[in-house]
Amino acid sequence: MTTVDEQHGADASAMRRALELAELGPARGVNPRVGCVVLSPAGEILAEGWHRGAGTAHAEVDALSKLAPGAARGATAVVTLEPCNHTGRTGPCAVALVEAGVARVVYAVADPGDHSSGGADRLRAAGVEVVPGVLADEVEAMLDDWLFAARRHRPRVIVKWAASLDGRAAAADGTSQWITGAGARADVHRRRSAADAIAVGTGTVLADDPSLTARDDRGHLLEAQPVPVVFGHRAVPADAAVRRHPNPPIFPTGDDLAADLEELQRRGIRSLFVEGGPTLASALLAADLVDELLVYVAPALLGGPRLAVGDLGIPTIADARRFRFAAVERLGDDVLLVAHPTTHPGGN
C-alpha cells in the first residue's frame, strides 16, 4: 500500500521530470511548453512526451503515442498543464486520456485558455481521479509570460526609456543617441533578446531609423531576435533599417492599443519590449497597459521640453500614477530603475 506522503513524493518527482520535458519545447509561439509523464500503477515511467509547438501533438498525446494499445490502462498521467478540452489542430487531450484508460491525472497549473479549459471537469466526469496544483509555483515560473498573456489576452508590456537626471529623453535637436553608456545599452540588448517583440512608434523610426535588433557588444546579432512592431499611421520608408530585420515587422495603427495588443497575443507574442518614444510610451501608460517600467538614468542634464513621458491626463498630485520599485541596479555610470504599477504589480 502506498502512503499519502509516498504518493505526493512520487507525483512531485514525476512532475519535476515533466517540467524538464516541457523545457525541450519551443520557448516562443502561440502554444505553451508542456511536458507529460505516464506512470504505471506501480509508479514506473511507462512513457514521456512533450509539446513541440502549434500544430504538433500535445504532450499527453505524444506520450500516449509511444505506448501499445491498452498499456495506459489504470495509469497515472502527470502533466505540467491541465489537459485541454479543446478540439483544435489536435483532439482534446482529456478525451485521449479517458480513451486510453488512464485512471489518475496529476497536473500543476489550470489551463487559462477560453476554448481549452475544462479538461479537469471532463476527466472527473469520466471517473478519472484528478490532482491539481502539484509543483504549481515551478510551472507558473516556467510559463510566466505565456500564462500572463493567456490570462490577460495581451502580452506583458515592458516600457523602457533612457533619460537624463532631469527626465529628458532627447536634446533640443531631437538627438538621444546615446544618453546612457555601454553597460546600460548592453543590458537593453539582453532584455530585447529575451522579449518576443520590440515596439516603437513611427516618430522614433523616422527620427532615429533604429534596426530594433538585439546585438552583442561587437554589434553581432544575438541568437533570439524579437519581432519588430512599429505603431502608427505614417509610412515607414522602404529603406528603413527595421525592414531589414531578421523577423518581418508588424505595423499596427495604434488607434486602439488594447485591441492591437490582443492581436499581438493572438500571433503568439507574450512579451512586448517598448522602446519609445515618449508619445507611444505615454499612450500606453495613459491606457494603463504597462506592466513594467525600465528607466535607465544617466548622470547628465539636458533640460528643455523633451520629456521621457508626455501628458498622462493627471490633473492633480492625488491622481499620480503610483509604481513600486522592484529593483535598482548600477550599470557603469548609469542606474537602472525597475518599477511595477501598484495596480498590477507584475504578477500573473
| 162 in contact with ligand NAP (CB under 6 A) | yes
Q: Which set of grid coordinates corresponds to residue 243?
A: 525592414
x-marked contacts with ligand NAP along 212-231 as a string, rule CB under 6 A: -------------------x
Per CB under 6 A, which region of 76-84, 203-211, 317-325, 339-347 contacts ligand NAP? 203-211
Q: Which set of grid coordinates corresponds to residue 219?
A: 554589434
60 is catalytic: yes
One-letter amino acid of 94: A
Per CB under 6 A, which region of 26-34, 46-54, 102-110, 169-177 contacts ligand NAP? 169-177
What's the angle, vertex CA 221, arms to CA 220 and CA 222, rounded to 5? Answer: 115
Strands of 271-274's sheet, edge to edge? 227-231, 197-201, 271-274, 156-163, 292-297, 334-341, 323-331
Which CB atom, from 24 or from 172, has the smaller least distance to ligand NAP? Answer: 172
Shortest approach of ligand NAP to residue 240 CB, angstroms? 13
Shortest approach of ligand NAP to residue 288 CB, angstroms? 13
Shortest approach of ligand NAP to residue 254 CB, angstroms? 2
* 266-to-139, 193, 262, 269 alpha-carbon distances in Å: 22, 20, 6, 7
Length of the chain: 348
Shortest approach of ligand NAP to residue 161 CB, angstroms? 4
Strands of 45-50's sheet, edge to edge? 45-50, 35-39, 76-81, 104-109, 129-131
* 17-to-13, 34, 189, 227 alpha-carbon distances in Å: 7, 11, 33, 32
Which CB atom, from 121 or from 288, has the smaller least distance to ligand NAP? Answer: 288
Q: Which entry of 23, 44, 60, 140 is annotated as an active-site residue?
A: 60
Which residues are annotated as catalytic?
A: 60
Per CB under 6 A, residues contacting ligand NAP are 161-162, 169-170, 174, 176, 179, 200-204, 207-208, 231-234, 254, 257, 275-280, 283
